[in-house]
A and B are shown apart, each in its own frame.
Chain A
Amino acid sequence: MLKVEHVTKYYGDLCAVNDLSFDVADGEIFGLLGLNGAGKTTTFRMIMGLIDDYTGSILLDGKKIDYSVTDQIGFLTEERSLLTKMTVLDQIKYYGVLKGMPEDSIEKKLDYWLERFDIKDYKNKKIKELSKGNQQKIQFISSIIHEPKLLILDEPFSGLDPINVELFKQTILELKNKGTSIIFSSHRMEHVEMFCEKLVVLVKGKSVINGYLKDIKEEYRKKNIIICGDIDTKKLKNVKGVIDITKNGDNYLVKIEDKKYVNNVFKAISKCDNITKFSVEDASLNEIFIEKVGETYEK
């Protein structure tokens, strides 16, 4: 279990991370979100033990992060972390041994993962000869080859086609089910929604949203109503509580200020023809993110 408590990090006068606290249980996927420069990389670096001049504490299974603990962490960086002149085998061996694996045990495990990701023919190819998607697969393998207790995934689906995204998703869920704690970071909110039970949204180093996704959505007052049918949008816009109406294919998406205005909308459309769908849904994480991050930036 990873426990981050009241962590603050300054670069000179700049506060990169401000009193950040969260924990990631075994077998849990945790989302760490934020705009560029929000403090995510600094947080990852502190968890990886690359930065130690911060206040607060970061503990993995109750132990302070040091070189005896970092062997149990896997890190898939957003940017390329592979040495392109190396072959796939040499690269995985390189990082594997650094993570404390016996050199002779690595190749067998690599064979398994190469087979799994359908790239077994690339074992002795140089990294630079591989496509971006295949490089991402190798980068992913390098972060999980030592079966880490904590896995940090920063934009893991970058450069992948939809089929390989699915393959990655399955693997991530398998790792979660095996008890690996996973920190997931992405700008694609639909991916975060799909994986993360808990999350933190950072803005200028400070967490503006922190908790279980379900609770966050519930606490967020604005709701979406999806309606299918012939509705008078001009009339509906004047209904109290309606913020906006957009058409999406055959459906209309009606945003309302609060759950209590659902009845107003229902009454307004009940006289319309051909209504085949009326569904009240929580706002998407993307909407919540944009609103919360935007609000904090304005402040």
Chain B
Amino acid sequence: MKNKLKFLTKISLNKKIKTKWFAIANIIILVAIVCLVNADSLVKFFGGDFDNTTDILVIDNTEEQIYDEFKSTYEQASSYLEDTTKANITLYEDSEEKAKEEVKEENKVLLILEDDNTNFIKASLISNSGVDVLISQIITSSLNSVKSNIALNYYNITPDKLAVIDKSVTIEKIKLDDSQSNDETMELLMGVAFPIIILPFFMLTLFLVQMIGAEINEEKTTRGMEIIISNVSPKVHFFSKLLASNIFVILQGIILIVDVVIALIIRMATTGVNNISSMVETAGLGDVITTLNSSGILNNLIYIIPLTLILMLLTLVAYSLVAGILASMTTNIEDYQQVQTPIVIISLIGYYLAMMAVMFDGSLFIRILSYVPFISALLSPALLILGQISIIDVIISTIILIISIILLFKYGLRIYKVGILNYSSTGLWKKMFKAVRNQ
């Protein structure tokens, strides 16, 4: 029987891995992750190909002739935006009518600057079919800056004095309980934990539930199940499905990690940054690492990582048990799609709770929910990272989950034994309850 279990697991695993769709899906995932990790380089790469220079004609009718100052202010502001608002600014010497004709024919932008008695300068921005929002904003801020300089000179205020006037009041935020992180830190931490841990786990869980249901129903829709069960016990069959599906999901998780590593290597090669700390900095993750460090989470990673991994692996086992039991009760994949909805909803509840975990600081209800099997693996890591629960809470969740798995296995196997050879949906629940009661 042991050899048959090994063989069934191998066959089941091969059916999932040795398909062109597995390869295609993983190639797509790899490409997506590489693009995501290297998004900034890609934007720059494609951005360089677009000729998005705007021609701005300036008619300067002001007494002080502010064209040069405006042009230098604009170019300085534009340089901060990495040339996405590049403009070719020229002083227009000819008449306004002729300039308008150029605007109409060559899609240029005309800026007419004039003196204003109350507000120093006023301007008209003329275009044929509108001006890019960002360019319009930079023109406005550049003109405001020029106007400020004129006003400062007029009222005899030095730039240093203005800086003091404009400076914001500094507010020092102090919390007497050091163990509580502040909201900003929490948001930052969740910003990291969610896409790295919770979202992939949630997706893998759904994938697992779907996969087990599809495979068991594929065998059930033919009389092949009778051939199989006449030669291996339902227990061995059930085990093989659980093993194969969980190995596959873990393998898929490892592939995702490898994809991220490949994406980082590509990033190193393309950005020229060849050490992790520099890469973290260039990716804008420096603040996150500092925050993680200051919150003390990095010091506790030695406990957090294995505990979270154990909780997640056990949760995958629990989900696969339920999926297997439900799949054995259904007679085709359509029925299974309906019956699996409650599992998906439970998983979804865990997902949303984890996503909103930052809002539940100190809630006893959420703490209790983090003990609930199926939800705990999604919610507990989020709450743990946010410092809302302790390692002890995660251990409690794990123990509750282990007890649930034992019960699910004990009673679920009874249902599986009856359900797997049941081809009729008539009196289904009656049959299942009877199976649970019988030894």
Contacts and interface: CB of A to CB of B under 8 A. Distances in A.
Contacts of B4: 97-98
B230 interface: yes
A85 B218 contact: yes
B15 A48 contact: no
Interface centre among B7, B8, B231 (most CB of A within 10 A): B231
B231 A71 contact: yes
B230 A50 contact: yes
Interface residues of A, number: 28
Given A67-B1, A97-B4, A49 B230 contact: yes
Contact of A98 (B218, B223, B232, B421): B232
Contacts of B226: 45, 48, 50, 75, 77, 81
B1 A50 contact: no
B203 interface: no
Interface of A: 45, 48-50, 67, 70-71, 73, 75, 77-86, 90, 94-95, 97-100, 103, 142
A77 B421 CA distance: 14
A42 to B, nearest CB: 12
Interface string B1-18: 100100110010001000
Interface centre among B1, B218, B223, B233 (most CB of A within 10 A): B223
Contacts of A71: 231
Given A50-B421, A97-B7, A98-B4, A82 B232 contact: no
Given A83-B218, A94-B11, A97-B4, A67 B232 contact: yes
A79 B222 CA distance: 7
A48 B421 CA distance: 13
Given A95-B227, A97-B7, 8 more contacts: A48-B230, A50-B229, A50-B421, A67-B1, A67-B233, A83-B218, A83-B224, A98-B231
A35 to B, nearest CB: 19
Interface residues of B, number: 20
Given A49-B230, A67-B1, A77 B218 contact: no
B232 A81 contact: no
A81 B15 contact: no
B2 to A, nearest CB: 13
B115 interface: no
Nearest to A84: B222
Interface string B334-377: 00000000000000000000000000000000000000000000
Nearest to B228: A98
A90 B19 CA distance: 14
Contacts of B7: 97-98, 103
A12 to B, nearest CB: 9
A81 B229 CA distance: 12
A250 B139 CA distance: 108
5 contacts: A67-B231, A75-B230, A78-B223, A80-B222, A99-B231
Contacts of B230: 48-50, 70, 73, 75
Contacts of B222: 79-84
A70 B231 contact: yes
B219 interface: yes
A84 B8 CA distance: 17
Nearest first, the 5 closest Cβ-Cβ pairs linking A and B are: A81-B223, A77-B223, A98-B231, A48-B230, A81-B224
Contacts of A98: 4, 7-8, 227-228, 231-232
Nearest to B227: A81
Interface of B: 1, 4, 7-8, 11, 15, 218-219, 222-224, 226-233, 421
A86 B18 CA distance: 11
B218 A75 contact: no
B219 A83 contact: yes
Nearest to A143: B227
A70 B223 CA distance: 16
Nearest to B224: A81
Nearest to A80: B222
A100 B230 CA distance: 12
Interface centre among B1, B219, B228 (most CB of A within 10 A): B228
Contacts of A81: 222-224, 226-227
Nearest to B11: A94
Contacts of A78: 223
Contacts of A79: 222-223
A86 B227 CA distance: 15
A80 B7 CA distance: 23
A49 B232 CA distance: 11
Contacts of A49: 230
A183 B222 CA distance: 21
Interface centre among A48, A49, A77, A83 (most CB of B within 10 A): A83
A215 to B, nearest CB: 33
A174 B226 CA distance: 26
A78 B7 CA distance: 27
Contacts of B1: 67
A82 B218 CA distance: 10
Given A82-B222, A85-B15, A98-B4, A77 B227 contact: yes
Contacts of A90: 11
A67 B2 CA distance: 13
Contact of B223 (A67, A80, A84): A80
Nearest to A78: B223
Given A49-B230, A50-B229, A99-B231, A82 B224 contact: yes
Nearest to A98: B231
Interface centre among A67, A80, A90, A103 (most CB of B within 10 A): A67
Contacts of B223: 77-81
Contacts of B219: 83
A99 B227 CA distance: 9
A134 to B, nearest CB: 16
Contacts of A103: 7
Contacts of A67: 1, 231-233
A247 B119 CA distance: 119
A148 to B, nearest CB: 11
Nearest to A102: B3
A85 B18 CA distance: 12
Contacts of A45: 226, 421
Nearest to B1: A67
Nearest to B218: A83
A83 B225 CA distance: 10
A85 B19 CA distance: 11
Nearest to A65: B230
A71 B224 CA distance: 15
B17 to A, nearest CB: 13
A182 to B, nearest CB: 17
